[in-house]
Amino acid sequence: MKIIRWWILTILAAPALATESPPEISAARILAHTKMLASDEFEGRAPASAGEEKTVHYLVSELKKIGLQPGNPDGTYIQQVPMIGIISKAAANFAVGGTTITPVIINDYIALSRQQQPTIEVKDSPVVFVGYGVVAPEFGWDDFKDVDVRGKTVLILINDPPVREPTTGQLDEKIFGGKAMTYYGRWTYKYEIASARGAAACLIIHETGPAGYPFAVVGGSWGRENFDLASTNQKVQRVAVEGWLTLEATKKLLATAGQDFATLKAAAARRDFRPVAIAAHANFTINNTTRQVASKNVLALLPGADPQRRNEYLIYSAHWDAFGRNLALTGDQILNGAADNATAVGMLLELARAAATPSVSQPWPRSSLFFFPTAEEKGLLGSRYYAEHPLYPLSQTLANINLEPLDSNNAYGLTRDIEVVGNNPSTIDELGRAVAAEQGRVIRADTDAEKGYYYRSDHFEFAKVGVPAYFTRSGLDFIGQPEGYGLKLRADYLANDYHKVTDAVRSDWTMIGAAQNTVFLFEVGRRIATATTWPTWKPGTEFKSRRDAMLKK
């Protein structure tokens, strides 16, 4: 099947609300883009590599073929993103009484420093367990209390404190979102709070369930060259040492110091928790090799047809980067990044083609920016750079719709559902529900809300500055497949392929599901671009005040 047609998608309901027939979207074209971008020729699409040069050339060439205008007002399809590449070689040990514990890098821990110095040393730093490391006045929560952690090494649990209702024992949805992760649970927040408190080092205790990925993913991502923006606009200097400690290594350290991990973790779930001094001192030496890195965001513009609304913008995004080559591996060394994120790039190219083709789509009154950011896998750096240096006013940016499948389900068949990540509380949700119903589908609530996927892709950088941001992933209820088929596909991908050399194009990929979801996202965007009102955050949403403040300027 090469073309996903509307009559195939309306399995259960007729398009009662649509004012324009959705476009024909080609699964074959999406698959062709995916195969090209995920081929060995593109060397894993690492920023600042030959793979980046090939990827950027391919994207610009395809956008020109589509007939889209350059997305940068300077007349190019490129936004330069100045970054710093950092390779950290770390050595660490813990002195516990007369015992020295020397964890093994990659196996037991990973550590780096984003301070741009050749050598960073932390010596004889007292170790303190600070629970979840959360300071949230709105929830009456402070894990640090009045304890001074300046110069100390803090051990922090991943995720949010699991606060339970006293009567039912269920997670309290009024505090830290219940099952859903808030930003307080993300590793980025942990390092931010440790930096603000003046800690010398911050080690996050890794647990596969709460983190949402095994420790091998941390080692594969952090154990190589890392990146940061050359200008980060940070008011607080980052903590000198950022790292992760495996659960097994943590338990060993604590037991040697006379502490029990399970007891400490249980105490950390209470509001009256106070930091616990561990009878241990940490020592780190990190040698940094740095380089200036010039990477690129790729952007194309479809101007709006209405002169009165042409200066209002909808942004679609899909990051182009993957992990390049890992020379430490034997055999296959190329992390092709097929599902993550070549499929989404292929979808966005096909969506852009449909939006720009007069015979397929009526001109939208507002402008659309098709945005392919760099360095998502390095910490959302390309999208963060755009949010800090927007090419079009953020106050005139209506919304961001971000494409990243989070699994390989997009590559397979049609589904009766589509999943909204983060249960995003903006009015875009209503548009999504209406479009899904017209496709004969339903919206599935975030099945992994506790893993905080909403804070882990490019749309979050737009949300942080107040722009309503919408993020979906492929469905689980596959037509013609037994119950549990979609969950098995997702689990297999996350366990075996996510951020690994095995994330490559499979012979049984059809991209029919990707085409189905591209139609969905096309239509959601079309309604944003044609509506009389702008999308808004709902009352009580943490991002609403940021949007309100932006629009008042």
pLDDT digits (tens, 9 = 90+) for 228-245: 998 655 556 889 999 999
Q: For the domain 3-67+303-552, what is the CATH code? A: 3.40.630.10
pLDDT digits (tens, 9 = 90+) for 510-528: 999 999 999 999 999 999 9
Rounded Cα–Cα distance for residues 384 and 374 (Å): 10
Q: Which amino acid is at 252?
A: K
Domain ranges within the chain, ordered by starting residue? 3-67+303-552, 84-290
Strongest mean pLDDT among 72-81, 215-224, 442-451, 492-501: 72-81
Which has the closest alpha carbon to 457: 399, 387, 376?
376
In this predicted structure, the answer to whether residue 12 has a pLDDT above a threshold of 90 is no
E-strand stretches of 269-366? 276-302, 313-317, 324-325, 334-335
Residue 70 pLDDT level (bands cut at 50, 70, 90): very high
Q: CA 260 to CA 279: how far, in whole Å?
A: 12
Confidence category of residue 13, pLDDT binned at 50, 70, 90: very low
* Averaged pLDDT for residues 455-468: 94
Q: How large is the average pLDDT for residues 491-506?
A: 94
Task: State the pTM of this model.
Answer: 0.84
- Average model confidence (pLDDT) across the chain: 91
Question: CA 419, CA 404: separation in Å to the nearest integer?
Answer: 12
Residue 206 three-state SS:
strand
How much is the pLDDT for 22?
55
Position 534 scores a pLDDT of 96
Give the pLDDT confidence score for residue 424 in this predicted structure. Answer: 61
- Token pair, residue 419, equals 């999943």
Residue 248 has pLDDT above 80, yes or no: yes
Which residue type occupies 235? Answer: K
Question: If you average pLDDT over residues 28-47, what whole number do you get?
Answer: 97
The answer to whether 276 touches 121, Cβ cutoff 8 Å, is: no
pLDDT at 131: 98
Question: What whole-number percentage of the chain has pLDDT above 70?
Answer: 94
Mean pLDDT of 408-413: 95
pLDDT of the residue at 235 = 53
The 10s digit of each residue's pLDDT in 325-384 is: 998 899 999 999 999 999 999 999 999 999 999 878 889 999 999 999 999 998 899 999
Token digits for 549? 């403040």
The pLDDT tens digits of the residues spanning 90-122 come to 999 999 999 999 999 999 999 999 988 899 999
- Domain 84-290 falls under CATH 3.40.640.10: no
Of all helices (H) and strands (E), which one includes residue 189? helix 187-196
Count the neighbouring beta carbons within 10 Å of the beta carbon of residue 510: 18
pLDDT score, position 362: 87
**Is the pLDDT assigned to residue 11 strictly greater than 50?**
no
Query: In the 8-state DSSP scheme, what is residue 361?
Result: S
The token duo for 495 is: 């366990």
